[in-house]
Structures are given as C-alpha cells and as structure tokens.
Copies of this chain bind each other. A is one copy, B any other.
Amino acid sequence: MNESRLRVGFVGLGIMGEPMARNVLKAGFGLTVHNRTASKAEPLGEAGAAVASSPAQVASASDVIVTCVTADADVREVVLDAERGLIAGIGEAATVVDCSTVSPAVAVECNERLGAKGAGFVDAPISGGDVGAKAGTLSIMCGGDRAHFDRALPVLEAMGRTVTYCGGPGAGYLVKLCNQICGAVNLLAAAEAVSLAEAAGIDIDAMLQAVSSGAAGSWLLTNLAPKMVRGDDKPGFFVDYQLKDLRLAADAAHELGVPLPTTALAEAIFRAASVQGHGLDGTQSVIHVLRGLKGR
C-alpha cells in the first residue's frame, strides 16, 4: 500500500493532540478524529477530517490510529473498552500508536490484547511541548513490534522530527520515563544552585554563565534557571504533570527492582511544590520550596 494512502485515525485532541492531528492532515493522510468533548473535534472537521462518535468508529475507518491522552486509565479506556474502545472496531493488521506518557505495563497489555485480534500497538510518547507539536518537531520515543513501528513511521514523521525506535512493547514509555527523570533531577540541580547563589548574595547571572558553559551545564539550567531568577512561574510543563511522570517512574522502578533514590526525592519535592499551590505552574516554580531566606 502506498504510504500516503494510509487512513489515519486520531483520538485525543488536547493541547498536544490537536496540532499533531493537524500536521497529519497537512501531510496528506485521510484523517478520522474523535475527542471525548466533541466540540474540540469541530475545527479539525472544518479542516477536512471526518469526525467519529467513538474510538471504535475511528478504528473501523483507519489503518493507523494515533491516541494522545493523559493517564494509564485513559489509554486503557480508549484502546481496550469492549464497546466504545479502538479494539471494538479495529481491523486486522491495523496499528495503534499511543503518544501518551503512561506506564510501560500499559504497552504490554495493549500489545497483547490488540495482538490477539491481529492488530498491533506502538508506544510512542512525545517530548517537545505544544510548541513542538505545532511545528511538527517533537521527539518521539517508540517501542513495540518493529513491523508495526515501520508501518506507522510515515505518520510519526508527520508529527515529529526525531523518531527513535527503542525496543519491544513499553520501551518507548520507559525511555520517556528516563527522560522525565533526567529533566526533573536536572531541574532540581539548577534550583538548588540558584537558591544557594541567591542566599550568598552573589551575581547569579555570572554563576549561570560560568556553570552553563562547562561540564555541569544542562538544557534546563540554561533555559529555566533564568525564569527562576526572574520569578516567572508561567508553565511550559506543569508541576503536576512532572509529578505524575515521577510517580510512573517510581512504579517502574519498583516493578523492575531498581533503586532510584534521586528520582524518589524528586517526586517528594515536586509533590511539595504541588501541595503548596504550584501544581499548574511551570516546573521551574519548584524553586519556591527550595529557597533560602534571601530568595523569599
């Protein structure tokens, strides 16, 4: 089959999913969409997508179905619900591609259940934020059966710039958790450095310049530490989403028997930020729970 003739479905048209679906449409794929809150599907309908009333209907019209929701339970409902889920309408040899950040165990389960119907499941969580979703420059980390990954690749390439195949079912979700561990912990490093520099009353811009340029540098130090210094809490990525992802990492660590002490501490610190009212602020607002007296 010519790849451009793949019929694509999309379920979950949120802040990430909507622009991703739009990029699929722009790439010339026929598109059928569904969203739990139906009104959010209308703009894509006007742009040329067919609008379906359930995930099952999306599946019955599609060869590759992309899903982009929030938590484990959402993915299970959209994919596996016996009446309205993708599994109720999916064709043999169709491929489900889930871009949510959820537990690796969800991939194993979906892969097994869909596999029993002759279909496949690719876990394909994304990184790059709403800016990357709009620009089609997301980084996409994939796991699952290689043949299903290869089949979905043209659709993935319509949504992202870096698409990495990481291994069997759950490998994509797992790599996303590794990514979230590094992001959260690097951010705490930046926050503690800023907090110490503030308390000492030294030139923080000089500190950031000296540290960023060397072996202790990180993307987050360069990009989010200046927001901490300015007191800009505006969200790029919510504290509560970071907290959710650290919880998933703790679950995976427990399942796999891996001690992750720094990740466990990061979860506790982000929980402190959340309960102190920063859940819907950007992750850089975690500095509020780490500040010495001079920074208050």
Instruction: Enumerate chain B residues within 8 angstroms of A249, measured Cβ to Cβ.
Output: 196
- Most chain B CB atoms below 10 A, which of A128, A206, A223, A290: A206
Determine whether the beta carbon of B197 is less than 8 Å from that of A175. yes
| Given A189-B186, A257-B293: A167 and B199 interface contact (C-beta under 8 Å) | no
Chain B residue nearest to A269 (CB atoms) is: B261
Known: A175-B207, A196-B178. A202 touches B167 (CB 8 A): yes
Q: Restricting to A177-203, which residues have a CB under 8 Å from any CB of B?
A: 177-186, 188-190, 192-193, 195-197, 199-203
Contact of A143 with B by CB under 8 A: yes
Given contacts A174-B197, A178-B193, contact A219 B214 (CB under 8 A): yes
For A210, what are the chain B residues with a Cβ–Cβ distance below 8 Å? 127, 139, 141, 162, 164, 166, 175, 179
A199 and B262 contacting across the interface, CB-CB below 8 Å: no
Interface residues of A in 278-294 (CB under 8 A from B): 290-294
In angstroms, Cα B171 to Cα A86, docked, is 60
Say how far A68's CB is from chain B's closest CB, in angstroms: 18
CA distance A28 to B211 in the complex (A): 30
Give the shortest distance, in Å, between A244 (CB) and chain B (any CB): 16
Which residue of chain B has the shortest Cβ distance to A292 in the bound complex?
Answer: B258
Is residue A14 contacting chain B, with contact meaning CB distance below 8 A? no
A218 close to B182 (CB less than 8 A): yes
A128, A129, A143, A219: which has the most chain B beta carbons within 10 Å?
A219
Q: Would you give the shortest CB distance from A289 to chain B, in whole angstroms?
A: 8
- If A185-B189, A211-B175 touch, whether A167 touches B262 (CB-CB below 8 Å) is no
Nearest CB on B from A175, distance (A): 5
Interface centre among A179, A183, A186, A210 (most CB of B within 10 A): A210
Q: Which residues of B contact A181 (CB under 8 A)?
A: 189, 192-193, 196, 216
- Measured between beta carbons, the chain B residues less than 8 angstroms from A256 are 196, 199-200, 292, 294
Chain A residues within 8 Å of chain B by Cβ, number: 74
CB-CB nearest in chain B for A207: B175
A177 to B209: give the CA distance in the assembly, Å. 14
**CB atoms of A211 and B182 under 8 A apart:** yes
The answer to whether A223 and B215 touch across the interface, beta carbons within 8 angstroms, is yes
Given contacts A181-B189, A256-B196, A262-B265, contact A127 B215 (CB under 8 A): yes
* Contact for A189 among B177, B211, B262, CB less than 8 A: B262
A-B contact pairs, 23 of them (CB 8 A): A104-B200, A127-B214, A167-B202, A171-B202, A174-B200, A178-B197, A181-B196, A182-B190, A182-B221, A183-B215, A185-B192, A189-B189, A196-B252, A196-B258, A200-B252, A215-B219, A215-B223, A216-B220, A257-B292, A258-B292, A259-B292, A262-B262, A265-B265
Besides A129-B215, A183-B215, A185-B188, 7 new A-B residue pairs in contact (Cβ under 8 A), listed by A number = A164-B209, A175-B206, A179-B210, A182-B190, A185-B185, A185-B192, A256-B292
